[in-house]
Amino acid sequence: MKTDHMKVAIVGCGYTKATRKLEKPETEIAIEACLMAAQDAGMDPSEIDGINVQVHHYPPPETQTIAQGIGITNLRWNQDGGLGILPAGIAAQAIDSGECNSVLVVKIMNTIAPISTPQIDPNTGRVGDWQQFEVPYGLGFSMQRVGLMARKYMHRYNIKQEQLAWIPIVQREHALMNPWAVMDSPMTLDDYMNSRIISDPVRLFDCDMPVNGAFAFLMTREDRANELNHKPVYLKSWAGSEVTKRDQLNAEYLDGPTPLALEIYKDAQLGPKDMDLWYMYDGFSYFVPMWMENLGLVPRGEAGNYVEGGDNIRAGGEHPINTHGGQLSEGRLHGHGHVLEAVQQLRGNAGIRQANTANTAIISSVFPWTGAAGILSVE
Amino acid sequence: MTNEKPNVQTREGQEQMKALGIKPLPEPDATTQPYWDAAMDDQLKIQFCTNCNQYQHPPLPACERCESEKIEWRSISGKGIIYSFIIDRRLMTTGFDEPYVVAQINPIEAEHDDVRITTNIKGCELTDVYMDMPVEVFFEEVNGVKLPQFKPAPDAIIKSEQ
């Protein structure tokens, strides 16, 4: 999918400090991040007329309070929810269709609630719905389910953990260059292979870091974007997956890229080789090689060979991956961090993390089979 | 605080359930009841769509492929192979206090139908389990409920016995 009538750009980025404990109320940090994004762009908050707020817990976010706190006076569009590149696409559609001119997309992270838990009735000990076939056997958490996917993937393509280990290792190198990252000590291959086993083959260093904080980006129309502070970063194309089966692994049998990938390349009129920077969702490290192959960035089964040693995927390498450290080392932002870092790189603002060639970035959000992907470019 | 039930949405709530020793068991509904009824009779039964001739699991009100409601329940042999597995050492789930295997089994009858039955693997060491290992079903009674479980089939290679 692409916007039909005009180009839409990301023009402002805002961050609060990512912390291990929540230090301020959610609405306060959301407002802080949004104001910073507006200021970064050089747009007065009163001009902004659209907002998307995401939280992963119930109750839903206090969007009206946040909007008022930012100084939005005429809220014409509000749709909450979605993760990473997906709400960027939905916001772009709203701008393109004339429902609004500018949208703040803000993620609030709060570590109190884990991401998904077994829904056991505490009164009866019983589990209903599809979980009744899993939780009685001790399968109830994402970190276990990804282990099932990861072992099958590595077995199918004869990939070793020692190869895929270079993803968390290199991402940790990147985090050490990122002032926003929570992880600040280096990781060697020995460190990785000695890290605690969670659900074999998943280790501690395969899991992302829970953090608290708020992170925002501002999007607007091309004509307005050109008047603001930074080089516009355009959302060229994006798509959500049509696959909905909860634990879908069927796509692993595809030889080439998934239909999702073909759609975004077609809409952007670009190919995998044009993607300079790869922002692959890394809620678990194993998603990264799966996404790389799903998006046709490397041939099926070749991700292990490509990342081994780290040279190809470092910030100075052929195709840097997650130059901010990703969720593994910057912190779990549900894909928001990937978008923000891609924007900074494409602006040429990534400082010591700056990649050599940064005109186009591909971004994926959440699970490799059911997630979304999009392409950002300076053109 | 002592009278409040654990909030299952939080990590603390999950740990409280674990401390209470709650062993999770299925809560069947109209769609899933036949699976658990069969298990009480030491039978493994899964759904079969007679319209498109494919097995499916977990059970649904209609065929997930062709949407037909011409679903019947069929007994299967309980023989299968391991599609994938994990060894859980983190022990976050209530009722599981020692490292254990969770596996997904492909029943031999449903070789091409992408059916995966979740189970533990019992009757061997955790490190004996391997990909594509042949297994067979047995039925384990827990608090008056029978759970299908799997163990190595007679022809499976047990590493620790070699």
Residues in chain A within 8 Å Cβ distance of B106: none
Nearest to B86 among A128, A155, A199 (CB): A199
Percentage above 90 pLDDT, chain A = 78
Query: Is residue A251's pLDDT more than 60?
Result: no
Q: Which DSSP symbol is given to B6? A: P
Three-state SS annotation for chain A: CCCCCCCEEEEEEEECCCECCCCCCHHHHHHHHHHHHHHHHCCCHHHCCEEEEECCCCCCCCHHHHHHHHCCCCCCEECCCCCCHHHHHHHHHHHHCCCCCEEEEEEEECCCCCCCCCCECCCCCEECHHHHHCHHHCCCCHHHHHHHHHHHHHHHHCCCHHHHCHHHHHHHHHHCCCCCCCCCCCCCHHHHHHCCEEEECEEHHHECCCCEEEEEEEEEEHHHHCCCCCCCEEEEEEEECCCCCCCCCHHHHCCCCCHHHHHHHHHHCCCHHHCCEEECCCCECCHHHHHHHHCCCCCCCCHHHHHCCCCCCCCCCCCCECCCCHHHHCCCCCCHHHHHHHHHHHHCCCHHHCCCCCCEEEEEECCCCCCEEEEEECC
Whether the CB-CB separation of A109 and A212 falls below 8 Å is answered with yes
Please judge whether A197 and B14 are an interchain contact, meaning their C-beta atoms are less than 8 angstroms apart.
no
Q: What pLDDT score does A114 carry?
A: 65
Interchain pair A133, B117: CB under 8 A: yes
Report the top-level CATH class of A8-111+211-225: alpha beta
CATH class of A141-203+238-379: alpha beta
Locus of tokens 């759609």 = A263
Neighbouring CB atoms inside 10 A of A232's CB total 25
Q: Which of B24, B114, B147 is nearest residue A125 as measured by Cβ atoms?
A: B24
CB atoms B24 and A155 under 8 Å: no
Does the pLDDT value for residue A133 go beyond 60? yes
Return the pLDDT at A112.
Answer: 73
ipTM, 2 dp: 0.95
**Contact status of B93 with chain A (Cβ, < 8 Å):** yes
d(CA A34, CA A45): 9
CA B82 from centre of chain: 12
Quote the CA–CA distance of A24 and A108 in Å, as a whole number: 12
> What is the band of A247 on the pLDDT scale with cuts at 50, 70, 90?
very low
Residue boundaries of the structural domains of chain A: 8-111+211-225, 141-203+238-379
Backbone angles phi, psi at B27, to 5 degrees: -110, 90
Summarize the confidence of residues A314-318 as an average pLDDT. Answer: 93
Give the bridge partners for A35, in sequence order: none
Query: What pLDDT, in 10s, does the model give residues A21-53?
Result: 888 999 999 999 999 999 999 999 999 999 999
The predicted structure's pLDDT at residue A64: 95
Rounded to a whole number of angstroms, the distance from the CA of A128 to the nearest CA of chain B is 5
Mean pLDDT of B63-67: 89
Rounded Cα distance between A50 and A44, Å, is: 13
Average pLDDT for chain A: 92
Task: Return d(Cα A158, Cα A363) in angstroms, integer.
Answer: 26
Q: Which of A94-98, B49-53, B109-113 is predicted with the least confidence, judged by mean pLDDT?
A: B109-113
Determine the Cα–Cα distance for residues A151 and A153; give it in Å rounded to an integer.
Answer: 5
Determine whether the interchain pair A199/B10 forms a contact, defined as Cβ–Cβ distance below 8 Å. Answer: no
Q: Cβ-count burial of A81 within 10 angstroms (0-12 exposed, 13-18 middle, 19+ buried)?
A: middle
The answer to whether the beta carbons of residues A141 and A116 sit under 8 Å apart is: yes
Task: Report residue A249's pLDDT band, with 50, 70 and 90 as the boundaries.
Answer: very low
| pLDDT tier, A252 (very low <50, low <70, confident <90, very high otherwise) | low
- Is the confidence at residue A279, as pLDDT, over 80? yes
Q: b/e per residue, B105-134, with b = 16+ CB within 10 A? A: bbbebbeebbbbbbbbbeebebebbeeebb
Distance CA A31, CA A33 (A): 6
For residue A338, the model assigns a pLDDT of 95
What pLDDT is recorded for position B2? Answer: 52
Distance CA A119, CA B133 (A): 31
Residues A96, A102, A105, CA angle at the centre, nearest 5°? Answer: 105
pLDDT of A117 higher than 90: no
- The shortest CB-CB distance from A135 to any of B5, B24, B131 is to B24
User: Does pLDDT of A246 surpass 60?
Assistant: no
- Whether the per-residue pLDDT at B6 is higher than 90: the answer is no
DSSP B25: E
What pLDDT was estimated at residue A250?
Answer: 46
Determine the distance from the C-alpha atom of residue A171 to the mean position of all C-alpha atoms in its chain, rounded to a whole number.
Answer: 14
CA dihedral B64→B70→B72→B78, nearest 10 degrees, is -30
Contact B84 A149 (CB under 8 A): yes
pLDDT at A248: 47
Determine the distance in angstroms separating the CA of A187 from the nearest CA of chain B, rounded to an integer. Answer: 22
Q: How far apart are CA A304 and CA A322, in angstroms?
A: 16
| Other residues' Cβ atoms within 10 Å of the Cβ of residue A244 | 8
β-bridge partners, B105 = B82, B117
Given a cut of 60, whether residue A180 has pLDDT beyond it is: yes
Tell me what pLDDT residue A115 has. 67
The predicted pLDDT at position A297 comes to: 97
Of the candidates B10, B5, B18, the residue with the CA atom closest to the CA atom of residue B96: B18
Assign A375 a pLDDT band (cuts: 50, 70, 90): very high
User: Residue A133 and residue B85: Cβ atoms within 8 Å?
Assistant: no
The more confident residue out of A105 and A247 is: A105
Q: Tell me the pTM.
A: 0.93
A284 vs B contacts (CB less than 8 Å): none
pLDDT surpasses 50 at A218: yes
pLDDT for B113 equals 73
- Tell me the per-residue pLDDT of A51-93, one tens digit each, with 9 for 90 and over: 999 998 778 899 999 999 999 999 999 999 888 999 999 999 9
Q: How many CB atoms lie within 10 A of CB B65?
A: 13
B40 has a chain A CB within 8 A of its CB: no
Would you state the pLDDT for residue B111?
79
Q: Looking at chain B, which residue has its C-alpha nearest residue A249? A: B114
Tell me the C-alpha distance between A215 and A29, whole Å. 9
pLDDT, position A29 = 95
A254 band by pLDDT with thresholds 50, 70 and 90: low
| B:100-159 residues touching chain A, CB 8 A cutoff | 100, 102, 104, 114, 116-120, 131, 142, 147
Express each pLDDT in B120-159 by its tens digit.
999 999 999 999 999 999 999 999 999 999 999 988 888 7
Q: Which residues contact A188 (CB under 8 A, 6 or more apart)?
A: A169
**Range A244-252 average pLDDT:** 50
- Rounded to an integer, the average pLDDT of B45-62 is 95
Query: Averaged over B69-98, what is the pLDDT?
Result: 96
Mean pLDDT of chain B: 92
Interface with A, mutate which of B90, B101, B135, B137 (most A CBs under 10 A): B90
Closest Cα partner for A116 from A247, A250, A291?
Answer: A247
CB-defined contacts A:B, below 8 A: 134
Looking up tokens 């186009």 gives A360
* Burial of A67: CB neighbours in 10 Å, binned 0-12, 13-18, 19+: buried
Instruction: Give the chain B residue nearest A128 (alpha carbons).
Output: B27
